[in-house]
Amino acid sequence: MTSAERTMRALPSARWQRWPGWVARATLLWGALYAAFGLACALSGTSLLPRGGDSAAAALSWAVVATGALATTASGAVVRYGLRPALRVLLLVTCGLAGITAFSLLMDVITLLFGQGVDYPAAAANKALAAVGAGLLAATARSEGAGEATGTTGIGSTGGTAVRAPTAAPRAVQLAAWAGTLAFLPYAAMKLVWASGGTFAGVTGAEMLAISERNGASGVFLTLESCGLDPTALLAALGVLLLWGLVRPWGQVFPRPLPFLRGRRVPRWLPLAPALLGAATLAPYGVVGVGYLALAAADVVTIRPGDFPSSGDALLVGWIGLVAFAVYGLALTVAARSYWLRTRPARRAGVGAE
């Protein structure tokens, strides 16, 4: 491939990096909508925290209003005055608040895919909006850096970039990916034992299917279970595929079986969006859960048996699931950071020069 061809192929990918032209305005719009959403919930008494008390639910609604107002103020100032250090700090703080609010969104997505629907639509909508906002706020906080990478001089201007060649992650990151992969093996084996009709932790496959049906599992979920395919095990396999796509070079280009996309770069947001969502949900969920199980194993707290014959059986299943979520979530965090750094656009000298 000639130098000119490489340059032309780099330009479509460069367009994905031109955040300064639109992201601050998009964040401004999101902030206004998010604040309005929180205000509507607060005034109508719609709870965004179904399992909390009335005072806690009301406090969360007003916290949503405050988060939206902060985002509107910060992004509006960026649009008007450009990105200043103080504004960057405010954007990152607001991003953190939105990220905390979006916690457990992945669980709602899984429930929506394989259940009859989410139990609390307003709470799920709040998490989805917060996740979108966290991404926009993070991008706005980096908008000046993106402008430098593309050779821009201000919001809305454009320049040229050289797209980095696909590279593998460092050895330490790949070891983390192996840890995340291996952590899911006991979880997948447990699920497949139940899906195939076997018995684990005192519960048979038929009993587990009846429990899923009683808990409102969708027809798709129950059909896959009855065929010996556990949907959550399939999601775990997709998660492992995403993890290795973040650390191996083939994860940065579209696969060859797609002729119309052959050799095209994967937009950075395409793998990073699910990776960040998964990491933000599974890592804290798993780590906190493992801590709770450790307290239960030390008889500091008591774990209820739930659908299992004994507390010991419930504890065993909890260890298998939560350790998998914790290790995979941490590995996904490490892999996503490595992918972010390795796929940053490099400044291309001379491109766009007269």
Q: Which residues partner with 200 through β-bridges?
A: 203
Q: What is the pLDDT of residue 258?
A: 54
Lowest average pLDDT, out of 194-198, 226-230, 295-299, goes to 226-230
Which of 31-40, 257-266, 272-281: highest mean pLDDT?
A: 31-40
Mean pLDDT of 296-309: 89
Asked whether the CA dihedral 251, 253, 257, 261 is positive or negative, the reply is positive
In our burial notation (b when 16+ CB lie closer than 10 A, e otherwise), range 188-210 reads: bebbbbbbeeeebbbbebeebbe
More confident residue, 245 or 108: 245
What number is the average pLDDT over the span 284-301? 91
The overall average pLDDT reported for the chain is: 80
Chain-centre distance of CA 57, in angstroms?
24
- Answer yes or no: is pLDDT of 4 > 60: no
Lowest pLDDT segment from 32-36, 176-180, 226-230, 320-324: 226-230
Q: Out of 26-35, 49-58, 200-209, 339-348, which region has the weakest mean confidence (pLDDT)?
A: 49-58
Mean pLDDT of the 30-41 span: 94
- At 158-217, the pLDDT tens digits run 445 566 778 889 999 999 999 999 999 999 999 889 988 899 999 998 898 888 888 777
The reported pLDDT for the residue numbered 295 is 93
Q: Give me the residue spans of the domains in the chain.
A: 19-158, 171-342
Is residue 229 pLDDT above 90, yes or no?
A: no
Looking at per-residue confidence, does 264 or 142 come out higher? 142
Encoded tokens for 190: 């447990």
Report the alpha-carbon distance of residue 48 to residue 102 in Å, rounded: 12
Exposure b/e, 289-302, CB count within 10 A at least 16 = b: bbeebeebeeeeee
Task: Answer yes or no: is pLDDT of 33 > 70.
Answer: yes
Place of tokens 């990152």: 92
Average pLDDT over residues 242-262: 75
pLDDT band, residue 73 (cuts 50/70/90): very high
Radius of gyration of the chain (CA): 23
Does position 8 have pLDDT exceeding 70, yes or no?
Answer: no
Mean predicted confidence (pLDDT) in 13-42: 79
pTM: 0.74
For residue 302, what pLDDT is reported? 87
> What does the pLDDT average to over 47-57?
73
Q: What's the rounded mean pLDDT across residues 107-135?
A: 79
Task: Please state, in angstroms and rounded to a whole number, the distance separating the CA atoms of residues 154 and 250.
Answer: 34
Q: What's the CA gap between 104 and 119, in Å, rounded?
A: 13
Band the pLDDT of 255: cuts 50, 70, 90.
Answer: low
The average pLDDT across 281-285 equals: 87
Higher pLDDT among residues 45 and 64, named by residue: 64
